[in-house]
Amino acid sequence: MIRNNWYAILDSKQVPSHKLVGFRRLGENLVFWRDKQGMVHCYRDSCPHRGAALSKGKLIHDSIQCPFHGLEFNPQGNCTYIPSYGKNGVVPKAFHLTGYPLREKHGLIWLWFGDATDPLPPINFFPSLTGHDYSYAGFQDHWKTHYSRAVENQLDVVHLPFVHHNTIGAGNRRLVDGPIAEWDERDGDLLNLWVFNRVDDGTPPKKSSELSKPEGHPSLQFRFPNTWQNWISDDFRVFIAFVPVDEENTILYIRNYQRSLRIPIFRSVVNTLSLIGSWVIERQDKRVVETQVPLRTYYRMPEILIRGDSPIVLYRKRRAL
């Protein structure tokens, strides 16, 4: 994982009120809970006393009670009570939890993975999805691979007519012009990608320098380090957060955003039905990507890349910085 970045790691609904929940994220077991004000807190899921999982404990008001020996930790991570020392006992300062800063925005929980800074940088989402006129439905799926492979799959325009031959790759558009891929001049974390796949008519593919960007939006956008959107139209997008679990596992949080229907009952039905297509397409990708070795990718590795892989090269260069 790349340090000093905000990672989308959970859907907000996964951390309910009045309950401890444990998840593995960014290679660590973490415990999450909400205080009385609804703010989410996150610490390593291990009691500093004997290493028991705090997520198996209880919430005592706003504090975690360890399930093993009853030590209590407040939302700041400080141990406030060791039962065996008595209610007036002095708690050693060493009894402190290691935690991570969190923010909750856009229905997601974001974790700052990096150096402590004050203030922390803002969370950048896709501005086009932040309007109140969009609604969405989503699902999640577990992939047995490193998150870099999952990201690169969504930047890969060459695989479409083969992996998705009967869905989004139908039409036998095997020849790839370009593609055009570039980091946004105003937003260095945003990778814009324009796709120009076509049927092979015998003419050679064009280089990206020979192409002109269409007016309007890009085909795809990736925001470093782990979010992506397929800009299908001004009224419909597919969003994915590629959430690192550890070096061998990733969870994809997939959402379909739309704003063409606004009547609540119809909107809800259409949002849910639209997920069927996304689920089919995602499973087509998963079947292949989970076979790729090694699981994690690097800028320089024993693969022979082709011209259509240029977005992947840009992504790998950025990860290597």
- Write out pLDDT tens, residues 144-172: 999 999 999 999 999 999 999 999 999 99
- Write out pLDDT tens, residues 29-61: 999 999 999 999 999 999 999 999 999 999 998
Q: In what order do the strands lie in the sheet with 40-44?
A: 21-25, 28-34, 40-44
Q: Does the structure show a pLDDT above 80 at 132?
A: no
Is it true that domain 128-320 has CATH number 3.90.380.10? yes
> Domain extents for the chain?
13-113, 128-320
Which ranges constitute the DSSP H helices of 117-209? 147-153, 160-163
Is residue 268 very low, low, confident or very high in pLDDT (cuts 50, 70, 90)?
confident
Higher pLDDT, 320 or 1: 320
- Write out pLDDT tens, residues 250-264: 999 999 999 887 777
According to the model, what pLDDT value does residue 280 have? 97
Query: What would the mean pLDDT of 106-111 be, rounded to a whole number?
Result: 97
According to the model, what pLDDT value does residue 145 have? 98
The yes-or-no answer to whether 13-113 and 128-320 have a common fold is no
Q: What are phi and psi of 150, to 5 degrees?
A: -65, -40
Contact 206, 178 (CB under 8 A): yes
Buried residues in 58-92 as b, exposed as e (16+ CB within 10 A): eeeeebbbbbeeebbbbbebebebbeeeeeeeeee
Closest-CA residue to 137 (of 280, 269, 251, 8): 269
Residues 6+ apart with CB under 8 A from 297: 146, 148, 149, 152, 316
- Write out pLDDT tens, residues 174-205: 999 999 999 999 999 999 999 999 999 999 99
Mean pLDDT of the chain: 95
Instruction: For the full predicted model, state whether its pTM sits above 0.85.
Output: yes
Classified as helix, coil or strand, 244 is strand
According to the model, what pLDDT value does residue 251 have? 98
Query: What would the mean pLDDT of 58-67 be, rounded to a whole number?
Result: 94
CATH code that applies to domain 13-113: 2.102.10.10
Give 50's Cβ-side CA count (13 Å radius): 8
